[in-house]
Chains A and B, each alone.
Chain A
Amino acid sequence: MIRHLPRRALIVALALTLAAGLGGPLAYAQEGPQPRTLTDVLDREITLEAPPQRVVGMSASITEMLFAIGVQPVGVTEGVDYPPAAEGLPTFGVGYQPDLEALAALEPDLIVANAMLNRGIIDQLEAIAPTFFVLTRTLSDIPQNIRLLGELTWHDTQADYLAMSYEHYLDMAASLGQSLEGPDVLIIVGTLKRPNYGKSSTYLGSMVAMLGANNIADGEKDAGPFPGYAQLSMETILDADPDIILTVTRGSDTPMPESMRDDPMWSALTAVQEGRVYELDNRLFVESPGPRFVEAFAQLYELFYGEDTE
C-alpha cells in the first residue's frame, strides 16, 4: 500500500503535466485550424482562415499585449521599446500616421489597429491585411482585449490564463482600495501652460481611484481635446489643495514638478511645498495601457502609502 502511493502520485503528476503542456496543441490537432470570425470594437467582422503568422500592432499598448500572450510581432511603431524583444524589430512610422509602404513591406497577415488613431485609414490597412481594431482605455479593457487578441491569434490558453489572473488582481486591488483612506490627488497630463486634468475615467485615473485615492477633478465635466480629462481653474485647485500631484509632462522639456516650484501660484500648494509632486512615465501611465499596469499599480501604491515616499 505504502509503496504504491508515490508511484500513483507520480503517474497522476505526470498525466497532469502532460495535459497542461500538451493540452493546447492536442486540442488544436483534433480540431484543426478552424476559421475564426471575430467582431472588433468598431463592430467590424473579420474572418481568419488559419492562425496568423505575421502580426503587427499599431501602438505600444497593443504590442505589449501581443508579447504578453506569446505572440511575437514582425514590426512595431516607432519608439516602442518594451518589452526588450521589441527593440530590434523593424518599424513602420508613428502610431497616428503609420508608413503604409513600410507596413506593407512587412507582409503582415494580421493588423491590430488602434480604434482612436487609425480609423481614418481602415481601407488602406484592409488592403494590406485583415485589420482588427481595439481600444484600451480603462483597466477593465485590458483583460478583455487580451482575450480578444488571444482568440485572434489562436493563443487562447495563454490569453485566458493571463486575463484571468489580471481580473483576479484587479478584484483584489479594488477591495484593498476600498479599505484604504487614500490621499486627495490631482492628475495633470500635458504642460503647466496647457494642462489636462485626468479624471477617474482615464487609465491613470482609474488606477488612482482603485487605490482608494480621491480625485479632485472628478466633479468636473470633460473638457479639452481628450476624453476623460477636465479643465480646472487655478482657484479650484488652490481651494482643494491636493495631498499629492501626479504629472505626466508631454510637449515640454521641463517636467512639471520643476516648473511648479518656480511658479508663484503652484508653489503655494501644500503638495508642491512638501515635495509630493511626482512626474510619472508617459508610456507606463498614460499612453500604453496594457500588461504593465501591475507595475504602474505598484508604483502608485508606493507613492500613496509607502513608508519612505521621499
Chain B
Amino acid sequence: MSSQTQPNPTPLSPLNTPSRATKRRLARRTVIVVLAVALLATALVVALGSGSQSIPYKTVLQALLDRESVKKSVQIIVHEVRLPRAMVGALVGMNLAISGVMLQGVVRSPLGDPYILGVSAGAGLAAAFVTLRMPEAPPQVAPSAAFVGALAGALIVYAIAWDGSGVTTTRLALAGVALTTMIGALTTTVVVMSVQGGAQIFFQWLVGGLYTVGWPEYHLVAPYALLGFVLAMALARSANVLALGDEVAQGLGLNVERTRFLMSAVAALLAGSAVAVAGLIAFVGLLVPFIARRLVGSDFRILIPVSGLLGAALLLWADTAARVGLPNLLGVQSVEFPVGILTAAVGGPLFLWLVRARRAQW
C-alpha cells in the first residue's frame, strides 16, 4: 500500500532541470491519465450501449452521428434517455471525486468525503427544501441552495472536529456521522411533509440515483462542474503547500485559514450541485481520491484531474451496473436500482477500514 506514496513532489522542487526520476514520474502520470481517459470512454460507450431495450452498438453510433437516420424510438432512447443520463452521471461522479480531494486537503485526512462530512447531507436538506417546499422557485435555485447547505454542513463538522491544532480522523468521522444523521432526519421530515404518497420521490431523496435526470439536470450541473474544476485547479498550488502542515505553510507565506475556507467552498460547490441533481450518493469522494493518490501521488495539480476522470468513470460504470446489470442479476427486470446503493456497497468497507486503521495513510 505504501509502495507508491511519494514524498512531496514537484511544486517545491527547486530544480528546474528534470531529473531522471522526474521524467519517470512524468511518463507514469501520462500513462495513468491516458488509462483514466480510456476507462471513462469505455464507460461512456457501455452506458450508451446498454439499457432495457437492446439496441446494437452500431445503431447507437448511427443515432449519435445522425439523429434522423434511425427510427424515432431509438432517437429518443439514445438522445433523451441514455445520453443525458450518462453525461449527468459523469459530471456528478467528477464533482463528488474532486470535492473529496479538496475536503481531504482541508482536513488532512483520507476521510474527507462530502458524504461522510455532512456536506452532502447539508446540500440534500437545502435542495429538498427548495424543490419540495418552494415549488414556484426556478430550478436554478436548487444547486445554489445546495451549495449554501453544503458549505454550512462542512463548516459545522469541521468546527466540531477541530481540537485547536487539527482534526483527528475519529473526531471527523464521528462529527460527520452525527451531523449527517441529524440533517438526514430533517430532510426526511421535509420529504414526508411534502410528498403525499409519492414513493418514487421519497426514494429519490433518500438514496442517490440518476433515474430522474435528463437534459435539464445536465444544464443545471454542467456550469457548476466547470466552475468547480477551474477553481479547484486554481487552488491546487495552495493546497500542495497546505499539505505540508499549517506551520510550514504559514512560514511559506500561505494564508492557511483563507485557503482552507476557499477549498471547502469549492468542495461545497461541486458536491452541492451533484446532490441537487442526483441526491445523496455515498463514498465516491472517498473511494476515488484514495485510489488516485496511490496512482499519481499527492500533487493536487495532477490529483484533481485524475480524480475527476476516475470519478466520472466510476459513477458511470456503477450506474450502468445498477440500471442494467443488477436487475438482470437479481431477476427483477422491471425496476432499476439507485446507483447510491452500489457506491455504498463498495465504499462502505473502505470507510470502515480507514476508520480502523489508526494512522491511515494520506
A123 within 8 A of B: yes
CB distance from B211 to the nearest CB of A (A): 7
A48 within 8 A of B: no
A107 within 8 A of B: yes
Which residue of the partner chain A has the closest CB to B139?
A: A123
Interchain CA distance A106-B77 in the complex, whole Å: 11
B197 within 8 A of A: yes
B299 within 8 A of A: no
Which residue of the partner chain A has the closest CB to B80?
A: A127
| A225-B334 contact given A101-B51, A101-B53, A127-B80, CB 8 Å threshold | no
A302 within 8 A of B: no
CB distance from A228 to the nearest CB of B (A): 9
Interchain CA distance A128-B74 in the complex, whole Å: 11
Interface size bracket, B side: 20 to 34
Q: Are A106 and B76 in touch, CB under 8 angstroms?
A: no
Which residue of the partner chain B has the closest CB to A222?
A: B196
| A121-B212 contact given A101-B81, A102-B53, CB 8 Å threshold | yes
Q: Are B196 and A99 in touch, CB under 8 angstroms?
A: no
B17 within 8 A of A: no
CB distance from A89 to the nearest CB of B (A): 15
| A94-B80 contact given A106-B73, A227-B197, CB 8 Å threshold | no
B216 within 8 A of A: yes
Q: Which of B51, B200, B212, B335 contacts A117 (CB 8 A)?
A: B200
Q: Are B335 and A107 in touch, CB under 8 angstroms?
A: no
Which of A22-49 touch B at CB < 8 Å? none
Q: Are B77 and A116 in touch, CB under 8 angstroms?
A: no
A105 within 8 A of B: yes
Q: Which of A78, A100, A225 contacts B81 (CB 8 A)?
A: A100
Q: Which of B80, B197, B199 contacts A128 (CB 8 A)?
A: B80
CB distance from B140 to the nearest CB of A (A): 15
Q: Are B52 and A102 in touch, CB under 8 angstroms?
A: yes
A93 within 8 A of B: yes
Q: Are B214 and A123 in touch, CB under 8 angstroms?
A: yes
B331 within 8 A of A: no
Which of B192-211 touch A at CB < 8 Å? 192, 196-202, 204, 211
Q: Are A127 and B73 in touch, CB under 8 angstroms?
A: no
The proximity string for A residues 79-110 relative to B, scoring 1 for CB distances below 8 Å and 0 otherwise, is 00000000000010110110111101111000
Which of B52-100 touch A at CB < 8 Å? 52-53, 71-73, 76-77, 80-82
CB-CB under 8 A from A116, the residues of chain B are 196-198
Apart from the given pairs A101-B53, A120-B201, 13 other A-B contacts in the complex at a CB distance below 8 Å: A78-B334, A93-B52, A101-B51, A101-B52, A116-B197, A117-B199, A121-B211, A124-B214, A127-B80, A127-B214, A226-B196, A227-B196, A227-B197
The 30 listed contacts between A and B (C-beta, < 8 Å) are A78-B334, A93-B52, A94-B334, A94-B335, A96-B200, A97-B200, A97-B335, A99-B52, A99-B336, A101-B51, A101-B53, A101-B77, A102-B53, A104-B53, A104-B76, A104-B81, A117-B198, A117-B199, A119-B198, A121-B214, A124-B80, A124-B212, A124-B214, A127-B80, A127-B81, A127-B214, A128-B76, A128-B80, A226-B196, A227-B196
B162 within 8 A of A: no
CB-CB under 8 A from A91, the residues of chain B are 334
- Ranked nearest first, the 7 interchain pairs of A and B with the lowest CB-CB distance are A127-B80, A104-B76, A96-B200, A227-B196, A101-B53, A123-B214, A226-B197
| A123-B211 contact given A91-B334, A97-B200, CB 8 Å threshold | no
Which residue of the partner chain A has the closest CB to B200?
A: A96
Q: Which residues of B contact A (CB under 8 A)?
A: 51-53, 71-73, 76-77, 80-82, 192, 196-202, 204, 211-212, 214-216, 334-336
CB-CB under 8 A from B211, the residues of chain A are 97, 121
Which residue of the partner chain B has the closest CB to A226?
A: B197
CB distance from B138 to the nearest CB of A (A): 14
Which of A121-172 touch B at CB < 8 Å? 121, 123-124, 127-128
CB distance from B199 to the nearest CB of A (A): 5
Q: Which residues of A contact B (CB under 8 A)?
A: 78, 91, 93-94, 96-97, 99-102, 104-107, 116-121, 123-124, 127-128, 225-227
CB distance from B40 to the nearest CB of A (A): 23
Q: Which of B71, B72, B82, B216 has the most CB of A within 10 A?
A: B72
CB-CB under 8 A from A123, the residues of chain B are 214-216
CB-CB under 8 A from B80, the residues of chain A are 104, 124, 127-128
CB distance from B276 to the nearest CB of A (A): 14
Which residue of the partner chain A has the closest CB to B196?
A: A227
Which residue of the partner chain A has the closest CB to B191?
A: A225
CB distance from A101 to the nearest CB of B (A): 4
Q: Which of A93, A96, A119, A127 contacts B76 (CB 8 A)?
A: A127
CB distance from A110 to the nearest CB of B (A): 14
Q: Which of B192, B198, B215 has the most CB of A within 10 A?
A: B198
Q: Are B53 and A105 in touch, CB under 8 angstroms?
A: yes
CB-CB under 8 A from B200, the residues of chain A are 96-97, 117-118, 120
Which residue of the partner chain B has the closest CB to A225?
A: B197
Which residue of the partner chain A has the closest CB to B335?
A: A97
CB distance from B36 to the nearest CB of A (A): 29
Which residue of the partner chain B has the closest CB to A77?
A: B334
CB-CB under 8 A from A93, the residues of chain B are 52, 334-335
